[in-house]
Structure 1
Amino acid sequence: MANEQRPPRIACINDLSGYGRCSLTTAIAVLSAMGVQACPVPTAILSKHTGFDRYTFTDFTPHMGAYMADWAELEFDAVYTGFLGSAEQIRLVEGFLAQQRARQSTPPHVIIDTVMGDGGKIYPTYTPDMCRLMRRLVSHADVITPNVTEACILTGTPYSGEELTTAQARELACRLYELGAGAVVITGIVREPVLCNLVYDGRELYFDAETRTERMFSGTGDLFASIVSARLAAGGSLPEAVSLAGSFIAAATRYTLSLGTPAMEGVCFEPCLSRLMHPQSQEK
């Protein structure tokens, strides 16, 4: 639990995309609005996210070891990981988690957003070795937040679409849980007319549902994981965090649709951030 004299502190390990609302750009804004100190570790630096036709890409792997070693004396209330671009980055994250847990009497919350693929396809950057290491990394997590595609990749389950029956969803969640995470959240399960996030902690399984919009936007997974991470670091429960994330994304998506924002630009969440702020923050 965070020291009462300071805000909760989260190490955010993810890429930085200069344009297109996703990854660290999203995480820093969301965590700050929720009263959490965001401490970024860039895994790559891009001019725009990879959904665009053209972008620049700088791999930060050669610098990450020294960067995180310089944090050896720091303590974090949570560690939240997103895009990891190489097997070496996954190993570096494992080492950082071990260092943090050895240093603190109360281990940090670990939230792993398994950014591996979408729409039934694994990302081109992901190798078989990275998949193997990611399966090992999730065993260190308190919470993992894969989408349906990533859940299938991690468990070796054939992908058959985003629509899952309760039996299919339960089996997938159980297989993920067997990898060793403390709790599993599978995002983006389609059950017309709603979009569901499934939560399973090894005992209870439930669905948190929001009305599905007619268009999907880039970066919603980053929004979801950022909100969940911030709420957990501040002492909230997982069901509460998932519900807050789902309702916020639904509201921000409706607002974005009203603006006619191109899908590639992501959810226009900035005017909606007051929904995430602590009551005392809104009164000032």
Structure 2
Amino acid sequence: MKRYPTVLTIAGSDSGGGAGIQADLKTVAALGAYGTSAITALTAQNTTGVRAIHAVPPEFLRQQLEAVFEDFTIDAVKIGMVNTAETAQVIAGALADYQPRFVVFDPVMVSTSGSRLIREDAVDALWQELLTRADLITPNIDEAEILVSEKITDLKSMQHAAGILLEKGCKAVLLKGGHLAGPVIRDVLALQNTGSLVLESDYIRSPNVHGTGCTLSSAIATYVALGHSLTDAVVLAHQYVAGAIGHGRDVITGHGPGPLNHSFSPLPMQVIS
């Protein structure tokens, strides 16, 4: 018998469909794997901003996680929006109980429109429960500045910040540099004991970049689930996101920054033994 490579996304719901759980599941499907989900929070949002956030009760989140882990073989986990300390604790407990083989954590703290998505008391809980437990974390510049309490302005300070995160116990860091102005986007992939790698891509001028971080982290999880190494998964995920941005830049979706075109080049569903 064969089965589908399976990814679990643990994240918030975006009612506009461009980020969060919705973006994750679109990405997983487009790359040929099977997506499952556990919702941490409901957001009332669209392309113009976030209107309200309703955290899912911790006990109900726990039941979602148990339902998925007890029925499916999970090849990779992606964690996104964790806006309360209680949520972080429930997720950490499930990871300890079920021991998935790969976890990528995108520490979503601020939305593209500038809305803060995490409570102040939850940042400490992320350090205690999730940041050092994940196999890879994928903060952007704003999130990394919160985590290291330093300003990041260029490639050198990005590399320094990634090093601090490794020193603080993170296993691997992909620090995304998309928020820095310039014709070339540079991300820093830093691994324990193996140095760092700078990934470069041309800047794509597009108003439609809502959900880019969610898409990248779920793509990494999917490529790992499909059997790729961490480094190769990061490189392939970069290529996928660039394609999704390029193919969605001329499309109007809503009245604000729209989403990527997640399905620009869908792959057939894969199966593994």
Confirm or deny a common fold (TM above 0.5): yes
**1:115 CA drift (Å):** 0.6
- Residue of 209, 219, 226 corresponding to 2:200: 209
**2: distance between equivalents of 1:183 and 1:173?**
9
Q: Name the SS of the counterpart of 1:39 in structure 2.
A: strand
1:19 aligns with 2:16: yes
Asked if the contact 1:138–1:179 (Cα under 8 Å) also holds between the matched residues in 2, the reply is no
User: Structure 1: any 5+ residue segments left out of the alignment?
Assistant: 102-106
Q: Name the SS of the counterpart of 1:131 in structure 2.
A: helix
**1:124 CA drift (Å):** 5.6
The structure, 1 or 2, with the larger RCO (C-alpha pairs under 8 Å, 6+ apart) is: 2
**2: distance between equivalents of 1:78 and 1:204?**
24
The match for 2:55 is: 59
* Percent identity for Structure 1 against Structure 2: 23
- Residue of 169, 185, 190 corresponding to 2:158: 169
Asked if the contact 1:18–1:46 (Cα under 8 Å) also holds between the matched residues in 2, the reply is yes
Q: Name the SS of the counterpart of 2:170 in structure 1.
A: coil
The match for 2:28 is: 31
**1:225 CA drift (Å):** 0.6
Q: TM-score if structure 2 supplies the norm length?
A: 0.85
**1:11 CA drift (Å):** 1.8
**1:99 CA drift (Å):** 0.6
User: Structure 2: any 5+ residue segments left out of the alignment?
Assistant: none
**1: distance between equivalents of 2:191 and 2:24?**
24
1:192 aligns with 2:190: no
Closer, same or farther: CA 124–23 of 1 in aligned 2, 3 Å: closer
The match for 2:167 is: 178
Q: TM-score if structure 1 supplies the norm length?
A: 0.82
Structure with greater helix share of residues: 1
1:130 aligns with 2:83: no
**1: distance between equivalents of 2:76 and 2:50?**
34
**2: distance between equivalents of 1:26 and 1:88?**
24
**1:71 CA drift (Å):** 4.3
**2: distance between equivalents of 1:187 and 1:263?**
23
C-alpha RMSD over aligned residues: 2.5
**2: distance between equivalents of 1:39 and 1:53?**
26
The match for 1:104 is: none
